[in-house]
């Protein structure tokens, strides 16, 4: 009987690891569409158990199926969620004080589309190089790094202009920790990304914001 239990357990693990990833599997536990940027402290209290349930499921999945880096990312997600959910944390206090304005700016923002548009020529350039050389281009790593950093910079700029410095600071912390900036833009690759940035038609302020993110986070 013990052998059967071990066998069934092993089979379940293999099937689970082949389901398409922890995100797909764990999203079945909660209604992910129910998770959105909170509008109030009551929203935070409602959403925290759901996010922690999702994060714990991801952790269990990555413990069995994932690589070390993926496990580290889940731990970062759990740490961020715990900071937001703990009532006496400075992150939560600052978020609650500015939550209505931040939520309004995020809902009105077109930062994702703007970032895609700003990087469209770079995307075309990389695809052209790949076609000519018939091989994968390492410049996609620069593209990925720039996309994450530029989108964060765009959100931060909108929130700073419309909500103030404290709102910008708390948003930056959540975005940088939530988007895993260090994973997409490790310090070893930022110099390369900044060189590629010179190919883009960015405003001086946008370039400055991007450089500040790389130099301070």
Which band of pLDDT confidence, cut at 50, 70 and 90, is reported for residue 181?
Answer: confident
Beta strands in the chain, from DSSP E residues, in sequence order? none
Model confidence at 130: pLDDT above 60:
yes
Model confidence at 35: pLDDT above 70:
no
Burial of 33 (0-12, 13-18, 19+ CB in 10 A): exposed
d(CA 72, CA 206): 31
What's the alpha-carbon Rg for the chain, to the nearest Å? 20
pTM over 0.75: yes
Which band of pLDDT confidence, cut at 50, 70 and 90, is reported for residue 170?
Answer: very high
Which band of pLDDT confidence, cut at 50, 70 and 90, is reported for residue 106?
Answer: confident
d(CA 114, CA 118): 6
């Amino acid at each position: 009987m013990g052998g059967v239990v071990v066998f069934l357990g092993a089979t379940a693990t293999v099937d689970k690891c082949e389901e398409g990833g922890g995100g797909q599997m764990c999203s079945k536990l909660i209604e992910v569409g129910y998770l959105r940027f909170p509008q109030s402290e009551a929203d935070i209290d409602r959403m925290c158990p759901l996010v922690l349930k999702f994060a714990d499921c991801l952790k269990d999945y990555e413990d069995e199926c994932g690589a070390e880096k993926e496990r580290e990312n889940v731990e970062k997600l759990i740490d961020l969620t715990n900071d937001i959910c703990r009532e006496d944390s400075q992150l939560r206090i600052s978020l609650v004080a500015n939550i209505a304005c931040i939520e309004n700016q995020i809902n009105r923002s077109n930062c994702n589309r703007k970032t895609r548009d700003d990087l469209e020529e770079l995307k075309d350039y990389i695809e052209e190089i790949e076609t000519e050389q018939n091989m994968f281009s390492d410049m996609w790593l620069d593209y990925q790094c720039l996309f994450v950093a530029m989108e964060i910079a765009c959100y931060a700029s909108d929130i700073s202009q419309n909500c103030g410095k404290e709102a910008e600071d708390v948003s930056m912390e959540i975005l940088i920790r939530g988007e895993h900036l260090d994973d997409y833009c490790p310090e070893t690759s930022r110099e390369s990304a900044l060189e590629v940035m010179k190919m883009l038609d960015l405003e001086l302020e946008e370039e400055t914001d991007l450089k500040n993110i790389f130099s301070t986070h």
